[in-house]
């Protein structure tokens, strides 16, 4: 056995030592220079861009980290430029060189060697001398869309052994032909806000610029504990003059590095066009990817070997699993019923916009895991590659979607198709993804929307026959004419916030259960604003969205979520549900006082978890929860008051000023304990709750201050009616 392990170690060392020379991926994130408009003339046409000061930056970078988060309707959209000098290594000559941008928002033009590269640093700025380009611009390529990666080839434009310069023009103005077509639901933070890399390959290589995908596509069928059939499609290119004989070698490695399976395919690559090799690998007794319970990942390594040398290599995750959504029942992962406790996530952070580090993504994932979620809707756009990869390894079940949201212009069809293709090809191999999202809250013109949704659905099923597709409506009518053109119908509805009262959700869910029993339906958004600075002892059944958008008490959101989850939990007609939102986020075009959406369970800066966060944690998480609500309503005006406790460790003991309160009733779920008719004393009141789980003691404590005068200044219940249209904020 020891000899066998030694052999495998030597094999791995041999493979990866060869692979070191196969493909170079070079980070290209530092020593950029930046200049933002507005510009009075076309800077490229008049060479104005090369004059004056440039700011030294590193990417990820955005120019909207402050203005889109703090000043309503007064943020910069328009042109900006990035510039970077670099030396093209002489060893790259005779190879292929690409530049890959993971995310640039929103519309991009890339130029190479447009001007001399003499420059000097001056403090934190870079001063460029005047230069003349004589109208000769070496355009490398363009890309429209701010959330997907794109790759451009530089091979024939580089000066090898010399200094070269990349110039990137970025514009984040809304356009009717590029989705999203406005900044209404969320901001399009301008900039090169995700990492950039140079990729250097041999002339024979796995495709790099197939919509910036990995160039290999892994399908899996007949997955069970006994076996799994894996198909690997490898896209190949040959830029030599003659056909080249190669071997395509795909190896599946266990976590410990041992070989699980291997396939070698001889192939002759012609010098014309892009070709593909399809390999079929049978895996016996696979270790399945079982979500959060056991997110086991194999490593799939595909190599192109020529004359005994590895000339290219791509490594991808392989999580063997089978998703099945059963109407009126829910998700079955590898035949095991799996709860779909769902949250949504916008990627922006306070003070950073969308220019995030891996640590920022890790922080969000840790919070999502803490709340007890099992599935994440990544709204409303393709998110970072790192985030998808971490979801694979953590075990979250993912809904990925394109930013076709909020409005229809009838000019966005080509770009929507492009971005859906990019989303699917770039993320095809992530085992965590179970569904592709086609659009969110788009309706009119009706005929155009139906036709485009149908085309997007056909595209999704052609690109990936094995995953589900979903479309989302903001109306509460399942059989609305624009609905049901995808595998799953998502419904966004905010009872008590945008229309009706909170309790209406139950009647609606009952009706859907009766009328649409055979449909796959997801409750894709529900929520209410909660500003922790706004507190109110008692709230009504209708929020302040229309009556007082400057006052969003946390307590209304708490009540909203208690009722909604109580209804969702007992209505399996919803095969999944997604609360809106995990985190507060920016809304730079909004009617609220601040350019902020406060529907998050957690504040924008990730510093404070609101009461509803602990409601879901108590209901979803396996971690012990014992929590007193209304901890921030310190000044109390009602001497007789209820005390609410969330406990998933059994019946709690409540003490008010040292006296135990024994009378309680259960609320909307088994973790919901309401101690009614609790009497406070004048002045300070200590409220404590205690519990025991597996011999370990838990407690929570808050302090309230009661005074009769507080009642006079307390807010009354909300308005008696709301407007009927949900506008998606």
Active site amino acids: 441
Tokens of 659: 């006296």
**Which segments of 37-177 are extended strands (E)?**
52-57, 79-87, 96-101, 104-105, 107-112, 119-122, 125-128, 139-144, 150-153, 163-171
- Cα torsion 21, 25, 30, 33: sign: positive
Can you tell me the distance from the alpha carbon of 98 to that of 400, in angstroms, rounded to the nearest whole number? 27
User: Smallest Cα–Cα separation from 73: which of 727, 588, 596, 592?
Assistant: 588
Can you tell me the distance from the alpha carbon of 577 to that of 598, in angstroms, rounded to the nearest whole number? 19
Can you tell me the distance from the alpha carbon of 204 to that of 236, in angstroms, rounded to the nearest whole number? 7
Phi, psi (5° rounding) for residue 371? -70, -20
Q: Which secondary-structure segment (H or E) carries 492? A: strand 488-492
Spatial neighbors of 217 by CB under 8 A, at least 6 apart, are 232, 233, 235, 425, 428, 429
| DSSP secondary structure letters along 222-268 | S--SSEEEEEEEEEEEE-SSS-EEEEEEEEEE-TTS-EEEEEEEEEE
CB atoms within 10 A of CB 705: 14
Cα distance between the two ends of the chain: 61
Can you tell me the distance from the alpha carbon of 704 to that of 702, in angstroms, rounded to the nearest whole number? 7
Can you tell me the distance from the alpha carbon of 719 to that of 337, in angstroms, rounded to the nearest whole number? 42
Q: Kindly state the DSSP code that residue 130 receives in the 8-state scheme.
A: P
Q: Kindly state the DSSP code that residue 155 receives in the 8-state scheme.
A: G
């Amino acid at each position: 056995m020891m000899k066998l392990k030694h052999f495998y170690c030597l094999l791995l060392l041999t493979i990866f030592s060869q692979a070191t020379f196969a493909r170079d991926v070079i980070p290209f994130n530092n020593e950029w220079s930046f200049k933002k408009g507005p510009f009075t003339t076309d800077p490229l046409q008049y060479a104005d861009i090369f004059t004056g000061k440039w700011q030294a930056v590193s990417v990820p970078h955005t120019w909207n980290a402050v203005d889109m988060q703090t000043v309503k309707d007064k943020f910069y959209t328009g042109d900006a430029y990035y510039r970077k000098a670099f030396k093209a290594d002489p060893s790259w000559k005779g190879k292929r060189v690409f530049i890959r941008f993971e995310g640039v928002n929103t519309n991009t033009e890339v130029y190479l060697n447009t001007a001399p590269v003499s420059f000097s640093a001056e403090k934190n700025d870079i001063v460029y001398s005047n230069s003349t380009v004589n109208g000769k611009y070496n355009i490398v390529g363009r890309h429209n869309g701010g959330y997907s990666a794109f790759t451009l080839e530089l091979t024939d434009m580089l000066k090898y052994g010399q200094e070269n310069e990349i110039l990137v023009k970025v514009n984040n103005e809304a356009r009717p032909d590029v989705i999203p077509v406005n900044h209404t639901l969320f901001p399009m933070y301008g900039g090169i806000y995700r990492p950039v890399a140079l990729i250097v390959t041999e002339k024979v290589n796995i495709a790099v610029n197939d919509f910036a995908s990995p160039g290999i596509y892994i399908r899996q069928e007949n997955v069970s504990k006994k076996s799994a059939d894996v198909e690997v499609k490898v896209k190949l290119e040959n830029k030599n003059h003659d056909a080249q004989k190669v071997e395509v070698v795909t190896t599946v490695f266990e976590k410990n590095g041992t070989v699980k399976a291997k396939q070698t395919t001889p192939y002759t690559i012609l010098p014309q066009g892009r070709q593909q090799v399809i390999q079929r690998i049978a895996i016996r007794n696979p270790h399945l990817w079982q979500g959060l319970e056991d997110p086991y990942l194999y490593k799939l390594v595909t190599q192109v070997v020529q004359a005994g040398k590895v000339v290219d290599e791509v490594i991808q995750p392989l999580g063997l699993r089978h998703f099945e959504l059963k109407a009126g029942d829910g998700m079955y992962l590898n035949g095991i019923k799996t709860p779909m406790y769902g949250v949504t996530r916008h990627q922006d952070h306070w003070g950073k916009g969308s220019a995030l580090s891996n640590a920022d993504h890790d922080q969000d994932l840790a919070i999502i895991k803490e709340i007890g979620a099992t599935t994440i809707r990544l709204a409303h756009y393709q998110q970072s590659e790192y985030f998808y990869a971490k979801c694979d390894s953590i075990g979250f079940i993912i809904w990925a979607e394109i930013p076709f949201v909020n409005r229809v212009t009838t000019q966005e069809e080509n770009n929507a198709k492009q971005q859906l293709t990019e989303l699917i090809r770039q993320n095809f191999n992530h085992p965590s993804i179970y569904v592709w999202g086609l659009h969110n809250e788009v309706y009119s013109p009706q005929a155009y929307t139906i036709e485009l949704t149908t085309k997007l659905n056909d595209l999704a099923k052609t690109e990936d026959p094995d995953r589900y597709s979903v479309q989302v409506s903001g109306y509460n009518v399942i059989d609305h004419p624009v609905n049901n053109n995808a595998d799953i119908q998502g419904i966004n509805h905010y009872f008590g916030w945008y229309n009706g009262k909170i309790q209406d959700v139950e009647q609606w869910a009952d009706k859907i259960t009766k009328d649409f029993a055979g449909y796959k339906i997801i409750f894709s958004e529900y929520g209410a604003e909660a500003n922790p600075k706004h507190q109110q002892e008692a709230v009504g059944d209708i929020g302040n969205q229309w009556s007082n958008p400057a006052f969003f008490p946390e307590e209304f959101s708490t009540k909203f979520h208690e009722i909604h989850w109580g209804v969702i939990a007992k209505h399996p007609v919803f095969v999944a549900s997604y609360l809106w939102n995990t985190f507060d986020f920016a809304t730079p075009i909004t009617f609220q006082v601040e350019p902020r959406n406060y529907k998050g369970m957690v504040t924008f800066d990730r510093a404070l978890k609101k009461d509803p966060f602990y409601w879901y944690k108590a209901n979803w998480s396996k971690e012990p929860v014992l929590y007193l609500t209304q901890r921030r309503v310190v000044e109390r005006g009602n001497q007789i008051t209820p005390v609410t406790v969330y406990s998933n460790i059994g019946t709690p003991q409540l003490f008010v000023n040292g006296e135990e309160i024994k009378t309680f009733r259960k609320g909307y779920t088994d973790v919901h304990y309401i101690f009614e008719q609790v009497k406070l004393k004048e002045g300070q009141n200590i409220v404590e709750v205690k519990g025991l789980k597996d011999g370990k003691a838990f407690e929570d404590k808050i302090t309230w201050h009661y005074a009769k005068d507080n009642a006079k200044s307390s807010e009354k219940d909300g308005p008696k009616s709301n407007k009927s249209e949900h506008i998606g904020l």
